[in-house]
A and B are shown apart, each in its own frame.
Chain A
Amino acid sequence: MNKNSILKRWGRGIIKNKKASFGLYFVSSLIGLSIFGPLFTLDPTAFLGAPLSPPSLEHFFGTNGQGQDVLSQTIAGARQTLLVAFTTGFFVVIIGAFIGGAAGYYGGKVDDFLSLIINVFLVMPGLPLMVILASWLPPGPLTLAGVLILTGWAWNARVIRSQMMSLKGRDFVLAAIISGESNSRIIFVEIMPRILSLLASSFIGASVYAIGAQVGLEFLGLGDVSTVSWGTNLYWASNDLALLTGSWWTFVPTGLSIALISFSLTLINFGIDEVTNPRLISEKNWKKELPDNTLNNGVTPVVRKNV
């Protein structure tokens, strides 16, 4: 089976997979909304009505402590938050693939050294480190992305390292080594395409992490509080004493949006796993044939039929 047909089968599988298509639907509509939405909403930074007025026909989600429209702010906030999240996700995967891939592929001293760095970054608590970094740098989306990448790459590097180690012993890699292919060609042409699904799910996982951590940092006041993003929305909500004045509408829409996109991204990840993990595929096929609970004792059949 060549690579293209595998990709096609995965693509079809993901569209057919209930979890993944549900997640894809929400993620793409939220991305669409964040790109085109601000064209149709009110100016999110303008003073439009009495501060902290509850949801009404004029302002569907009410206004915040600055008299700004919460609906417009929620939609406009998606733009910067998602941009920073996906940028972080992308670079985390690239750095993880390079460092984790090198550690797993070369092994020995290289692995010892790189693993040490990876583990040191893994064991350090993220938030305090992010706070120090972000507080010294000028606030803004670039700082946020940089800080999130620096504190988030290690997890991904570790996952890719272990995958690389298991692939390195396979016959096709040995064959490539014997036929005299260069190391970089083996890594990028032979091995990387085979861990595409892992890279894709790492990208999604890192983006979810970046959304949460970014919102947390901005909530602390380490973002650029003059811009509109989900994190700064929550920062202002807590600054304007949303809780003590009972104005729930200033923080509920943003929080629900964050949860919705994180959950949808996680669902896509579940879907990718179900479609590309041979263990889960064969299990599903067997379950069709054995309608009773024969599989409940944890036995996983490895023979796959009629795919």
Chain B
Amino acid sequence: MSNSLQYLIRRLGFYSIAAWAALTLNFFIPRLMPGDPAAIIFARFRGKLTPEAMIALRETFGLTDGPLLLQYFSYIKSMFKGDLGVSIAYFPEPVANIISTGLLWTIFLAGTSLVISFIIGTLLGAIISWKRGGRLDSFLPPSLAFIGAFPYFWLAMLSLYIFGFKLEWFPLRHAYSDDVTVGLNIPFIFSSIYHAILPATTMILVSLGGWMLSMRNTMLTTLGSDYITLARAKGLSSWVVMLKYAARNAILPNFTGFGMALGFVLSGALLTEIIFSYPGQGYLLLQAVRSQDFPLMQGLFMTITLAVLAANWFVDIAILFLDPRTRK
């Protein structure tokens, strides 16, 4: 047990370094760019801020006249307090408030589609590897690779056009309809699921192929092992050998990939949200870009990075339970 604890602490150390790197990038990127960051940011605030508010905002970003090191510490301090500054696009709302309202929608939409795509993709990978060279195996990988070649958001545009605009099966925008009250009531839950179907389906379709292919490849190696031959010789049914013996072992690399893929899938999810005007982080990102809202952009980068790091750590914990070799 002490070994696994050590492992988890080591991973936590790595994620802290990654978080610190993200924080530091966030601090230095504006300062390394051509032009004076303070002038660029505050030009966008002109006429909106009182002089006192301006000074407070400068403190938050460490954009004071003090030496760089002091600026850096003042910035780190405000980040630890959860103070991400004030948004330009949604003035005078603090960035932290804006982000927290959108975060739940992104976790709901991207999280569900990621999990569904992982489960279906892994299962398909196990099935097609079982009958290698069979009809499914020669049809599914190339067709899913072709779908995966489309940008997420383009496929979202197309499905919105066909199923939302032409056929009118699904709503065109937003995460729930206007006539339900937000809260834990049946109409609201149904409405949000109904609004999530189309964006989720496009995300699942694009990311399915990757899970399937990597599962297929590890399955092929696993299927050559002696214990599989033994399981077959015992006369166990194909499904039992495939799922309980082979897939159980082959799934581990896919799980490790889950953490890695998170950031990538999330990037696609953000663009998909924009197409569906889904009120999550992606939609905020677009607003931030459109109005050059630097505080909001940097706040989004920080929260999304921290979310990905946290999710990666949970994957590490999950692997500890799934793979006895890491627990030695």
A-side interface residues toward B, CB under 8 Å? 116, 119-120, 122-129, 131-133, 135-138, 208, 212-213, 215-216, 219-222, 234, 237-238, 242-244, 246, 248, 251-252, 254-255, 258-260, 262-263, 266, 293, 295-300
From B150, B160, B292, residue with most partner A Cβ within 10 Å: B150
Q: How far is the CA of A289 from the CA of B267 in the complex (A)?
A: 47
Q: Which DSSP category, helix, strand, loop or mixed, fits chain A's interface?
A: helix
Contact B160 A263 (CB under 8 A): no
Contact B150 A255 (CB under 8 A): yes
Asked if A255 meets B158 with Cβ closer than 8 Å, knowing A120-B17, A127-B270, A128-B305, the reply is yes
Verify if B80 is at the interface (C-beta below 8 Å from A): no
CB neighbors of A among B120-168 (8 A): 129, 131-133, 145-146, 149-155, 157-158, 160-161, 164-166
What are the residues of chain A within 8 A of B298 when measuring CB–CB? 132
Binds A, one of B18-26, B61-69, B86-94: B18-26
Contact A132 B229 (CB under 8 A): no
Verify if B198 is at the interface (C-beta below 8 Å from A): no
Verify if B207 is at the interface (C-beta below 8 Å from A): no
**Contact pattern, B 219-243, Cβ under 8 Å of A = 1, otherwise 0:** 1111110001100100000000000
Question: Which residue of the partner chain, among B155, B157, B228, contacts A238 with CB atoms under 8 Å?
Answer: B157
Contact B145 A263 (CB under 8 A): yes
> How many B residues face the partner with a CB closer than 8 A?
71
What are the residues of chain B within 8 A of A215 when measuring CB–CB? 151, 154
From A128, A244, A258, A295, residue with most partner B Cβ within 10 Å: A128
What are the residues of chain B within 8 A of A213 when measuring CB–CB? 267
B-side interface residues toward A, CB under 8 Å? 14-15, 17-18, 21-22, 25-26, 29-30, 33-34, 37, 129, 131-133, 145-146, 149-155, 157-158, 160-161, 164-166, 172, 219-224, 228-229, 232, 259-260, 262-264, 266-268, 270-271, 274-275, 285-286, 288-290, 292, 294, 297-298, 300-301, 304-305, 308-309, 312
Contact A132 B29 (CB under 8 A): yes
Q: How far is the CA of A129 from the CA of B155 in the complex (A)?
A: 23
Q: Which residue of A lies closest to B232 (CB)?
A: A297
